[in-house]
């Protein structure tokens, strides 16, 4: 009887918010298998904003974020943050 556990990026979505900037939503799946048969799957989500530190993200997430987190998106996010502080 062999148990194994793996975590994968199950879903990566780009959401364009009404505030005028995109975010990247990542859903990871933690899969536990017994003798190559899946016995458990749990999900976790996290959201990345244009100012996010991507150093701990998988390459596929970094690639998508690199496309959508343009200078324009970063400026729009900063404008949103500045407006929240007023």
Contact status, residue 22 vs residue 16, Cβ threshold 8 Å: yes
Q: pLDDT grade, residue 86 (50/70/90)?
A: low
The arrangement of strands across the sheet holding 3-16 comes to: 3-16, 22-34, 37-48
> What mean pLDDT comes out for the span 48-77?
97
Domain range summary for the chain, segments of one domain joined by +: 3-85
Q: Kindly tell me if the per-residue pLDDT of 63 is higher than 80.
A: yes
Place of tokens 């879903």: 11
Q: How far is CA 42 from CA 6, 18, 72, in A?
A: 11, 30, 35
Share of the chain above pLDDT 70, in %: 99
Supply the mean pLDDT for the chain.
Answer: 96
């Amino acid at each position: 009887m062999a148990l194994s556990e793996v975590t994968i990026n199950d879903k990566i979505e780009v959401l364009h918010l009404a505030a005028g900037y995109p975010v990247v939503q990542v859903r990871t799946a933690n899969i536990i298998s017994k003798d190559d048969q899946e016995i458990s799957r749990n999900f976790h989500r996290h959201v990345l904003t244009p100012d996010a530190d991507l150093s701990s993200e998988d390459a596929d997430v970094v690639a998508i974020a690199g496309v959508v987190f343009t200078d324009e998106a970063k400026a729009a996010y900063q404008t949103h943050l500045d407006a929240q502080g007023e």
